Structure 1
């Protein structure tokens, strides 16, 4: 756990055209406080959030799962962390920590070159993160400049991160990564390439995976526009004035990376293998989808609360809409449970959740979340659009508003705050970012669905077909 002032460590963070100190941005301070719940829960609920290994206590995210009970404990911890921010922070420390747990044991495939041992580097880095409980973010996605060309065919030099110099002590890299969530307030950045956009033979300079502190000279963190609303309270914007899971465009400008922090270099095939074969993908997916349950349950509960407070929950059509939302929620809960129950021990003795089940969640949850937001929009409609600023309740028209907006189901203030929450999640810039994030942060659902059926175990179904069609 660190304070906001500790992030003024020389890192180059830019906002609205100016280099800033992280500690001077109020919404960064609030977001960090919520992120620190990961550490706080280790102290207040250690029976779930910690485990002991070789006489030392670690966060449960770092535990290598050996059986279903280990996954279940991690599930509970992930859920409690997500509940502390209503599922709105997708990149809390437990996300990548769950991947570090297995990277240390699965890194041998990374091999070595004449300067360094990539496998040992990855193992030692993962162990260092665990020993020090370092908060790492990751830079995965390459800027979407021209997907019709291979990355080496885009001349700007910013279509990804690439090696520009190779030395006896390390490499020098330049380039960029987009949508680096939580980068301004993390300690370290893990950089690698996405598996769904495979590198090609001519892309070897872009075939890198490494880690670096965010205050490394030559690393620039360029934040997107903030989504909070200065001048308004959290009664007006209950979510966007409470947190912003800051996304950033990260630029590497001749940044030096020592060999001991490099895991892949000059090998496009190994770069394509890194995320999946390291085990990082499947175990971070488990954390991510548990967080997704929390977010979906929050959105579902909000829609139902809006229907009740507005007196709409007695109508059959509304009840049917709300029932669809709760059915969707149960399907997601059940599928994540299935991912744990249908897990298996891999060749390293790591109990691994079912990838097919987790991909089914990733293919479905974004649509379910969007449906919950649309139901909220349709039910709240003009009621949420027309809510006056909360300061009006203490102004000249306060008495009128309290009388006019109070019902037998809620006071004027409670009704207004609920409707402001409905607007913030379903219709504001914050809510639309959450919707976009839920669709794409874990992979394009269309791509996932297009491949999912190829790996489905349909032996029983095909046997029935074969029997019938003999």
Structure 2
């Protein structure tokens, strides 16, 4: 089976995965609070068939349709095919789902392209295992989540020292068939709704870290001992017209506990190789995923700009200078995100082992600035909306014989816009920026590719470390030093 439909995806969730919501162990497919999210995710899989020309490509090995997000990027045509896929999928949720399956698909395909980096000794076994796993994901069109970060409860020491040492996921022992993992990881977005839990390095381990923490693997989410503890669910029941995002697009996030989970050796890709673990994300990981992340950001910002324009049209403020200035600010953010996508593809190069990834310079700039841009965009939409974000009756109220005419009379939009149109736009805006889901996504945008501080300081230190003694630095050139 390749390129699943929504119904096939939902059938795959009927297993014995251990998921906790509040103080209850729940069945993902039967839990009422999850139903809207399941509709949204099933819609993702149906979307790839509805827009198959953009989302699907022939599997290079079988000829069957597969997600273009799983292409191992070797040629410019691969990047162009991925771009069409990322663009279409981002439009499905208007960028409000940050971890649609194409994201981890892209990550996996990039690791396959740089499978040579999985071993510091030149052993090809880890790479062969990863390529086999990649084929399994293609064949099943599997939904992957990832758990990247050690819990690091005590921020006064590094993530694998002190109290953190017992909490961080690590290898406790080995059996004839696999390794046994104990500890925890955060944060698995899409975790309860995925097929596989993919664990890989997000950041290097500290110097002299115990090799037991240097582990990369993937297992089905229903593996015995794998426990997911969910945050409150922010999906809401009711008409999608009243809650266009919250009714479908809460991806859910989980804290992941590995309670002596056995991982078969064929699903272990790094085991105690600290050098490989610490070096993997330096082999083009961000350059590769930036194509998806910047595309999603551009689509979301473009939607936010148009939403702001619609709000201003309905209040007849779209040409007021202060409003035009705020709308122009969002527009420039969207253009910069889009330019970063285009620059990355135009500057694509071989990152080693034949892996063709986008250039990462513009992408690193957007990685550092997007948290600020997204927060500012929400602030602008709140300012434009003011009390109108709250004075929005349910769209179903317009169908009531007594209430509907009153709403049309007393809550119309300006400049000929109807009351129902006004309610629709401002309810959409509230769900985008002010609902529980909107607030969760705002927090997500601040940290999903690390904090702005880490991105800014990391880019500075990388550049400065490489160029501190460079005689061609601009000031030295100007002053003639």
Same fold (TM over 0.5): yes
Q: Is 1:289 matched with 2:294? A: yes
Aligned to 1:347: 352
How far 1:322 sits from its partner (Å)? 0.9
Q: Deviations over 1:401-424 (max 9, x none)?
A: 221012343222221121111112
Structure 1 pair 69–56 and aligned structure 2 pair: CA distance change class (3 A):
closer
How far 1:36 sits from its partner (Å)? 4.0
Aligned to 1:316: 321
Question: 1 CA distance for matches of 2:179 and 2:47?
Answer: 38
Structure 1 pair 20–347 and aligned structure 2 pair: CA distance change class (3 A):
same
How far 1:237 sits from its partner (Å)? 2.3
How far 1:119 sits from its partner (Å)? 3.0
Aligned to 1:433: 440
Q: 1:184 aligns with which of 192, 195, 213?
A: 192
How far 1:396 sits from its partner (Å)? 5.3
Question: 2 CA distance for matches of 1:27 and 1:84?
Answer: 22
Question: 2 CA distance for matches of 1:217 and 1:390?
Answer: 45
Structure 1 pair 40–136 and aligned structure 2 pair: CA distance change class (3 A):
same
Q: Is 1:468 matched with 2:478? A: yes
Question: 1 CA distance for matches of 2:186 and 2:439?
Answer: 18
Matches within 5 A, 1:204-243: 204-230=211-237, 232-243=238-249
Structure 1 pair 458–77 and aligned structure 2 pair: CA distance change class (3 A):
farther
Gaps of 5+ in 2: none
When structure 1 is superposed on structure 2, of 6-15 and 56-65 the one drifting more is 56-65
Alignment check: 8 A CA contact 1:356 1:452 kept: no
Matches within 5 A, 1:113-128: 117-128=125-136
Structure 1 pair 107–236 and aligned structure 2 pair: CA distance change class (3 A):
same
Aligned-partner SS, 2:255: strand
Q: Deviations over 1:354-390 (max 9, x none)?
A: 1222111111222222222111101111111232445
How far 1:201 sits from its partner (Å)? 1.8
Aligned-partner SS, 1:424: helix
Question: 1 CA distance for matches of 2:68 and 2:363?
Answer: 20
Aligned to 1:62: 70
Alignment check: 8 A CA contact 2:172 2:182 kept: yes
Q: 1:16 aligns with which of 22, 28, 32?
A: 22
How far 1:31 sits from its partner (Å)? 2.8
Aligned to 1:77: 85
Question: 1 CA distance for matches of 2:437 and 2:131?
Answer: 37
Question: 2 CA distance for matches of 1:458 and 1:36?
Answer: 49
Question: 1 CA distance for matches of 2:28 and 2:280?
Answer: 32
Alignment check: 8 A CA contact 1:239 1:424 kept: yes
How far 1:100 sits from its partner (Å)? 2.3
Aligned to 1:161: 169
Structure 1 pair 286–13 and aligned structure 2 pair: CA distance change class (3 A):
same
Alignment check: 8 A CA contact 1:366 1:439 kept: yes
Question: 2 CA distance for matches of 1:254 and 1:234?
Answer: 41
Question: 2 CA distance for matches of 1:14 and 1:235?
Answer: 30
Q: Is 1:247 matched with 2:245? A: no
How far 1:116 sits from its partner (Å)? 10
Q: Deviations over 1:192-244 (max 9, x none)?
A: 2321x6334243322211110000000111111011234x4333322112221
Structure 1 pair 25–88 and aligned structure 2 pair: CA distance change class (3 A):
farther
How far 1:392 sits from its partner (Å)? 4.5
Aligned to 1:141: 149
Structure 1 pair 50–461 and aligned structure 2 pair: CA distance change class (3 A):
farther
Q: Deviations over 1:92-150 (max 9, x none)?
A: 1211212222322422332399x993332223222322333221111112224112213
Alignment check: 8 A CA contact 1:344 1:354 kept: yes
Question: 1 CA distance for matches of 2:420 and 2:433?
Answer: 20
Alignment check: 8 A CA contact 1:112 1:118 kept: no
Alignment check: 8 A CA contact 1:343 1:352 kept: yes
Q: 1:364 aligns with which of 339, 358, 369?
A: 369
Structure 1 pair 356–376 and aligned structure 2 pair: CA distance change class (3 A):
same
Structure 1 pair 411–158 and aligned structure 2 pair: CA distance change class (3 A):
farther
When structure 1 is superposed on structure 2, of 237-246 and 157-166 the one drifting more is 157-166
Alignment check: 8 A CA contact 1:162 1:206 kept: yes
Gaps of 5+ in 1: none
Aligned-partner SS, 1:151: coil
Q: 2:390 aligns with which of 385, 393, 401?
A: 385
Alignment check: 8 A CA contact 1:158 1:176 kept: no
Aligned to 1:413: 420
Alignment check: 8 A CA contact 2:304 2:330 kept: no
